[in-house]
Chain A
Amino acid sequence: MSRHPGRALRLRRGRLLLATALILGVGAAGAAQAGAQDAAKKPAAAATPSLPSSPAPRGSQPIVTRAASLYDDSMFEDAIRLLEDGLKNGKIPAADRAKGWEILARSQVKAGHRTEAKDSFKSLLLVDPQYRPDPVRTPPDEVEVFTRASKEYQQELVEEGRRIPASIGLQGVLGVSSNSDISELIEAGNGKALNGGPEFGGSVRMPIRPRWSLDIELARLSDTGSDDSGINYEVSALPLAASIYYMAWSSPSYRINLFGGMGPMLASEAKFSFDVSGVQISASASKTGFYAHTGVEEKCC
């Protein structure tokens, strides 16, 4: 219900006069005068839905514009009825639907229908996932309901598998790599070439958009070998990769991601060591290299 019944009565009277004038063909001058009177009665509210004003009579304006005017006039129930009818029956064009859901939700908050308002904010987020209320212009009661709706919306996305929550991971890796430059030295001493080995690492992953995540991963790669002359070989590296993950397919218990990323390969080191009369002698060199990877990941259980 309107909080200003007197004003509402004046507005309705003004609209009736306006409609009569149009039917009688009085013309644009009369309509403009009525429109000006109508506008003069509106309060300059900071919380206005901020639609551009139009010189057209309210009856011929888009539904969303009329609803915004009703909101400004504190005629929240009228705005709700108008928008519910427009949104349910497809009377609001696609370009205006996000604004329609916004004004509907805000009107429902003001009218005390907070549960319905929360659902309307969720519908708004479905149409426009990037929507956030202006914290300066939007009243706190409306921001509060939106915040609740947003949390529930995000949770529902997670449950439906359309949003990947933040995560941390530990992993063991079995890599296959030849390290051919070092393997050549080992084979020259009749040793067995390097062929990769167990590795380990960890990562932190954050959602950046529905289906998309950013992953920062640090791993430890290493391999060891020896030859017949008693030389021990060790190669190691610490790749630090930033990767983008795309959720290609998901169900409640199963998910397939595609990913690609790159970064520096820190502390890339090769080390030779051997024993001379009980004294360990070693030589090593290290450098920062380049790391890039791509592949498929599956998550289950």
Chain B
Amino acid sequence: MPRLALNSRVTIRYAKANDLDFGNLTVNGLDTQGRAVDFSGPAFLLGLRAYIGY
């Protein structure tokens, strides 16, 4: 029977993918070429862990 525990985490992360290629698409008059997906920043996690290595 695994033992369960609650855990929380405060983290700072760098999460980025640069230079996405949309071709010549413009959105709201702005060029989209080379833009990045960027989830960098602080994050707070809540989780449940099952300890199985007893």
Contact = CB atoms under 8 A, between A and B. Distances in A.
A296 B16 contact: no
Contact of A169 (B12, B37, B49): B49
A21 interface: no
A231 B39 CA distance: 21
B1 interface: no
A237 B15 contact: yes
Interface string A284-301: 111111111111111111
Chain B facing A: main interface SS: strand
Contact of A286 (B20, B28, B54): B20
Interface in B23-54: 23, 25, 27-30, 32, 35-54
A269 interface: yes
A90 B32 CA distance: 75
Given A174-B44, A175-B43, A265-B16, A188 B28 contact: yes
Chain A facing B: main interface SS: strand
Nearest to A174: B44
A176 B47 contact: no
Interface in A140-188: 155, 158, 165-182, 184-185, 188
Interface of B: 4-23, 25, 27-30, 32, 35-54
Interface of A: 155, 158, 165-182, 184-185, 188-189, 196, 199, 205-207, 221, 223, 227, 229, 231, 235-237, 239, 259, 265, 268-270, 272, 283-301
